[in-house]
Amino acid sequence: MKINAINKDSTYYFIITFFERITFFLFYLILARLLSVEKYGIVITIFAFVNIVSPFLELGLPFLIQREIARNINIQDIFNSSLTIKIMVLPLYLLLPLIYFNSRLTSDLILLLMIAIIPYFINFNLFFQSIYYGMSNFGHVLKASISSRLVFFVLLVLLYLLNSGLHYFLLLLIVILFIQLAILMTNLKNLLRSFHFTWNPLVLNRTIKNSFPIGIGLIFITISDRVDILILEKLIDLNSVAFYAVAYTIFRNLQIISTTLLIPEYTKISAQYTINKRIAAEKFQYYYKYILIVSFLLIFFFYFLSNPLLVLLFGIKYSESSIYLQLLTLAIPGVFLNHLTGIICNSTLNSKIPAYSTGLGTLINLIVN
C-alpha cells in the first residue's frame, strides 16, 4: 500500500481531526499567553481532573455504536440506552470537580462548572460523530467541524484583541461545541424522533456490559495521560503543571498523525471481520513501517528545535517546557503503535487485550510517579 493510497475517509478524518486539534491548541495557546503561569496551571489542573473522570462516565459508548453500525446491526435500542446514560451522567460531570477541589485551587464556582461542562459537550459530539463514522459518512462530520470552527476562530481572535477575561474564552468554547452538536443532529432525525429514555436496568446494564470493555482501555490511557498533572500539582507546584502542560499540548497534537490513518480503518476492519472472521495483514505492515519512520523523524526534530519553537509560540516564560517536550517525544513510537494494536483488537472483538495492556501501563506509570 502506497502513501497516496490513503482513501477519502482518511482525508476527511484528517481535516476533522486537524480542526479539532487546532481549536484546542489555539485555545490553550492564547490562555497560556494571557494568564500568569500559576493561573494557567490552575486551569490545566481542573481540565486534567475532569478529563480523567470523563471516560469513566462515557463507558466507551461512542466506539460501541460505531462498531455496531459497521456490523449492520439496528442501533435504535443501543442509541436510546446510550443517550439515556449520557444524559444521566451530566450531574456527575458538574459535581465531581466541586467535591474534589472543594475551593482548594479556586473559589470561583462558575470557573469550575464551565470547565467541567466542556468535556461533556466534547464527548456528546464524539458520540454523534461515531454514528456517522460507523456509516462511513465523514462528510457531514467535516461540515459540522468546519462550520463551527470557522466561527470559533473569528471570535477567538476578537476576544484576544479585546483582552477578554478567562470566562469569555470558556463561554465561547461551550457555545461553539453546542453549535457543532446541533449541526451533527440534523441528519439523524429518524434516530432522534424514535428516541425515548430507557429506564430498564437490564437494557442499560446490557449496553454498559458491551461498551465498557472497549471504553476501559480509554480509561487507562486517559489516566496515564493526565495523572501527571494532578501529581505535579500535589507534589510540586502549579508552575510545574503549566510548564508540563505546554509541552504536552504539542505532544498530544502530534498524535493526529496516527489517528488520521487508523480511525477510518476501524469501521472497515470491523465490517470485514464480521463477514470474513479475519483481517488482511498487509495494510498493517504498511502502517507499522510508516509509523516508525515518522516517529523517529519527530524525535530528531524536537530534540534540536523544541526550545525555539515553544518560545516562539508560548513566550519566553515557558522556555522551561522544552526539556519536558524532548522527553515526551521519546514516547511517540509507543503511542502510535498502541493506537495500531488498539484498532486491531477492538475491530476483532478482542477489546480486553488493549484494556489489560493499557491498565498495566497505567499501573506502572502510577507506581513510578
What gap in Å lies between CA 117 and CA 97, rounded to an integer?
11
pLDDT of residue 281: 66
Question: Scanning the structure block, which residue is given the C-alpha cell 534540536?
Answer: 304
**Exposure string over 70-92, b if 16+ CB within 10 A, otherwise e:** bbeeebeebbbbbbbbbeebeee
Question: Scanning the structure block, which residue is given the C-alpha cell 522527553?
Answer: 327
pLDDT of residue 172: 96
* 161 CB-contact burial (10 Å; exposed 0-12 / middle 13-18 / buried 19+): exposed
Query: How many structural domains is the chain composed of?
Result: 1
Structural contact between residues 105 and 228, judged by C-beta atoms closer than 8 angstroms: no
Structural contact between residues 261 and 287, judged by C-beta atoms closer than 8 angstroms: yes
Contacts of 304 (CB under 8 A, 6+ apart): none
What is the value of pTM for the model shown?
0.78
What gap in Å lies between CA 225 and CA 210, rounded to an integer?
25
pLDDT per residue as tens, the chain (369 positions): 444 434 677 778 778 888 888 999 999 999 999 999 999 999 999 999 998 888 777 777 887 888 778 777 777 888 888 888 888 888 888 888 888 887 677 778 899 999 999 999 998 898 899 888 888 788 889 999 999 999 999 999 999 999 889 999 999 999 999 999 999 988 888 778 877 787 888 878 888 877 777 777 677 777 777 888 888 888 888 898 999 999 988 888 887 777 666 666 666 666 666 666 666 666 667 777 877 888 888 888 888 888 898 989 888 898 889 899 999 888 888 777 777 777 676 666 665 665 566 666 666 665 655
- Domain range for residue 313? 3-368
pLDDT of residue 2: 43
Amino acid at 291: I
Taking CA atoms, 105 is separated from 94, 110, 163, 234, 296, in Å, by: 16, 13, 24, 11, 39
